[in-house]
Every structure is written in C-alpha cells, then in structure tokens.
Structure 1
C-alpha cells in the first residue's frame, strides 16, 4: 500500500518569497543594463513572475517541458518587457539573458547558503508554516538584503576594475545647432528626477551652458535638497541631444534634461557636469 504524501502549500509565503527574489533580480538587471528606473513597473514585473510561480506550484498538471518553456521563455520575456517598458526584440533578448545571469548568480549564493548554513532548513520551516522553527523574519530580510547589495556592489565595481575605467566622461551637448563639450563626473549619488515625468536629471554649471543656451523657450523647475539646505529649485533645460563618451565607448541620449547650477561643481574646475546614475 502506497502512503499518500500530503504537502501544505502556503501561497502567500510562496508569492512573497518569489516576489522578493524577482524584484531583486530585476533590480540587478536594471543596474547592469542601465535601464530607466520605474519602480511601479518593476513591482508589476516581479508580481507577474511570482503569480506564475504560484500558479505552477498550485496546479502541477502541465508537462515539465511546457512548464519550463513558459517559465524561461514567455514569462521571463513578459517580466522584462513589463519592468523596463521594452519593445525592441534585441533589447528584450539582452534583458532576458541578463535576467538568467542574475538568477544564476543569486541561485549560486542561495545554494551555498543552503548547503553550508542553516538557511535551507529555516526556509523549509517557513514554507511549511512552522514559525517556531523558522528563522526570524528580520534575519531573513537582512540575509536577502546583504546578498542583493553585495551583488550590486560587485556589478558596479568589477567592470571598472577590469577595464581600468574612471567615473569621468566627455560629454558633448547639442542645442539648436550649437554644441559644447564638457567633462562630466558620473555621480552614483545623483538620484534627481523631474517630479512629473520622473525623467532623470543631469546637473551642469551655468558657465558651461551660458553660450550654448543663450535663448531658451522651455524651462522646467526642479526641486532638490542638499546638505545644509532643506530644499530649493533649479531651472532645467531640455537639450536636443547629449553624447556621453569614454574611450571608444559612447552613448547618445535624446532630449536629456539638465539642471543648471550657478555654483561650480568641483573646487578645481575638473568637471562641469554631474551625470545621473542611470
């Protein structure tokens, strides 16, 4: 007589764990491929992937090959298309590939923790609904956060270390047939956005754009906060185009929004622009 095996599936816990992992993986992909940050779309993309995981676990009737094809094909593509608003097949393919790489790295870390620590036992207790034997929630959050930020830090540091890159770029600004070249610093702490459209905002000195933008017809005022100042407003200008170059690599940004700062950005005048982290 074969004894039936009973499995208790806690859908809310399964969804939460998958959602957290999906969101972290999508965030790593966004950082690596420098996609525009749209949190609500990333939340929606992570939610779609988590909903499919719950559905597949609750209704395990599909053939394995079909479930794998849907998971690693259709669902993965739908997640990146939703999270990053992608339509170009090439961009979708790159994002899906990056999603696989990020997932493999995260899985490797989790597997190592599972094999060499008690994390696997604690996670099994959580999924089984045994709150007494499970790891405290705050420890699980700290563990996941440490893994996530560790990978993000490596993603930020390693390419520059391997290629000998610095954070300085040559930027050519274009406006109404004129152009101006400046030295820019990639400011990883610059999270300035225009409040309505949520467009990333670069910061440039008044001296750098004075001759380039002698007459402007459209000005956007951007609120900001800085050390020693609770808040303020900077005028912003939509340039026609901006080319960001470092060595042999270059990127063209259409209609970038730059905020004009009257004060110098560096003490020695080494750079005249702060590039947004995106």
Structure 2
C-alpha cells in the first residue's frame, strides 16, 4: 500500500479566496447600488476566505454537504460583514445576488486558479474577470433602463440649464390646444425648485391649458422653453467635451406642463414625457 501525502498551503488558499471573495463583493455592491467602506469590504472578504480555508482543511465525507455549508456560512457571513443588514428582505436579496455572482464568476476563477501556476498571473486573470463582470453589469443596467424608457433631460431656458430625469409615459397624450404641441408634464415640486419665482408669479412666460384625468378636469400652467436635450440613462454624453451620444436627441421649443395632481408616485423621475413629442425630435 502506498501512503498518499498532500501538502496544503493555507496562506495561498486564503489569499486566493480573499481575492475572489473581494471581486464577488464588488460586483454585488455594484448590482445592489449600495455604498460600503473598504474596511467592511476587506472584513467580509476575509470572513469568506477564512470559511473557504476551514472547509478545505476540515474533513467531511459528503462533498455536497461540505459545499452547501461553505456557501451558506460563507455567503451569510460576508453579507452581514459587508452591509448594514436591517431587514430579512435585504439580506435575502443581497445573498441571492452574491450567489448568482459566485456561480457565474466563481467557476471561471476556480478554473483559472487550477490551470495557472503563477499567483501573479492568477491575479491578472482575476482583475480581467472583475473588469468584464463590471462591464456586463453596467451593460445590462443600460438595457433595462432603455426598456423602461428613463431619460436624462437637459432643459434650456435662456442662459440657464437644468438637468432632470424623465420617463416615457404612453398614457400622456396632452396637447397645447393652440399650438397642438405635445405637453411634457413636470412634477410641481420639481418645477417650483427650478422655476420658483416665475411659477409663483406666473408671468408672461406661463399660460394655462385645460386637462382631464380620471380624477377630474382642471387647468394646468405650462411653459414653452427654448430647447431640451434627451438621452437614455446610461448612454455617454461627455460633460467635458459636450459630445453627444448617438441616441441623444434635441427638441426645439418643447412645452412643459406643471402637474398639480399626485401622478408622480416615485421620485425616480421628474417629468412624464409625451411619446408623440419624442417622435419628432431632431438629432
């Protein structure tokens, strides 16, 4: 009988797991749109790496049980160390995102770690994997935002420029009865913030048009501004160079209505865009 002898380099296992767990946590933070400190990140990655070392040196006859304990204990420990968990719902969401990142990226990194002999080359591949994963997260977010019809909007009135966020609203078919221009509806709270003094006085720049909703009828103050620039959130318009994204559009003399009814249930956007108006924008 030949006795088998294995050497386990605990420090190397810990270092590799620390790097992989740190990458997975960074991807999880990016998807959840949370902010954590570097101290929390290093602590969570250290806890995950420690669990990985323990699962390596501790003998358990059942491989699947061992893997399950590693994922559950390591994942839960990393979540509690990285994030200020205040509810089970947030914990479940963060744990699920971490597990998805683990299965997608962890398999790649594990394969690389077994096929390369140099730790430096492994770190190089790990950095490339993180860069690719981070790009994929941003790309998928951009596709989701486009599908939801969310835009970043620049409003130009004279020498002033205001930046707001808008959402395409297929239910908005309001038009100015005189000019027949489509009306884009802005939340009253945001309008008071941008045009406070003018809106309070309702000077010659403002006029009123009739509108009707399921809640009733009334009159809405509207304002025709000089121009408006729209681009889907996530596309790149450089603030330094002013170079427009290919998907960006200019609209001349748009009509902005001030909504006095609570149709803005969330604060993710400030303007409900009229889709008919977007059909005639200029590049």
TM-score, normalising length: structure 1:
0.52
How far apart, CA to CA, are the structure 2 residues paired with 1:4 and 1:247?
A: 74
Please list the CA deviations of residues 51-106 of structure 1 after superposition, one character each: whole Å capped at 9, or x if unmatched. Answer: 11111212224754543343222331121121011131111111111011101111
1:169 Cα deviation from its structure 2 partner: 7.4
**1:1-278 matches, cutoff 5 A:** 1=1, 3-61=2-60, 63-64=62-63, 66-110=65-109, 114=112, 120-122=114-116, 134-135=117-118, 137=120, 139-164=121-146, 168=152, 183=164, 243-245=267-269
Please list the CA deviations of residues 95-149 of structure 1 after superposition, one character each: whole Å capped at 9, or x if unmatched. Answer: 11101110111134336x65xxxx6332xxxxxxxxxxx3261x33221111101
Cα RMSD for the two superposed structures: 3.5
Structure 2 residue ranges without an equivalent (≥5): 155-161, 167-191, 198-239, 241-265, 273-283
How far apart, CA to CA, are the structure 1 residues paired with 2:270 and 2:93?
A: 22
1:25 Cα deviation from its structure 2 partner: 0.2
Structure 1 residue ranges without an equivalent (≥5): 123-133, 171-180, 186-206, 213-226, 228-241, 249-278
Greater Cα radius of gyration, structure 1 or 2 = 2
Number of equivalenced pairs = 171
Contact 2:164–2:269 at 8 Å: present in 1 too? no
How far apart, CA to CA, are the structure 1 residues paired with 2:98 and 2:118?
A: 28
Seen in structure 2, the aligned counterparts of structure 1 residues 74 and 136 have a Cα distance that, compared at 3 Å, is closer
1:42 Cα deviation from its structure 2 partner: 1.4
Seen in structure 2, the aligned counterparts of structure 1 residues 45 and 167 have a Cα distance that, compared at 3 Å, is farther
Contact 2:52–2:74 at 8 Å: present in 1 too? no
Contact 1:38–1:84 at 8 Å: present in 2 too? no
Contact 1:169–1:244 at 8 Å: present in 2 too? no
Contact 2:24–2:102 at 8 Å: present in 1 too? yes
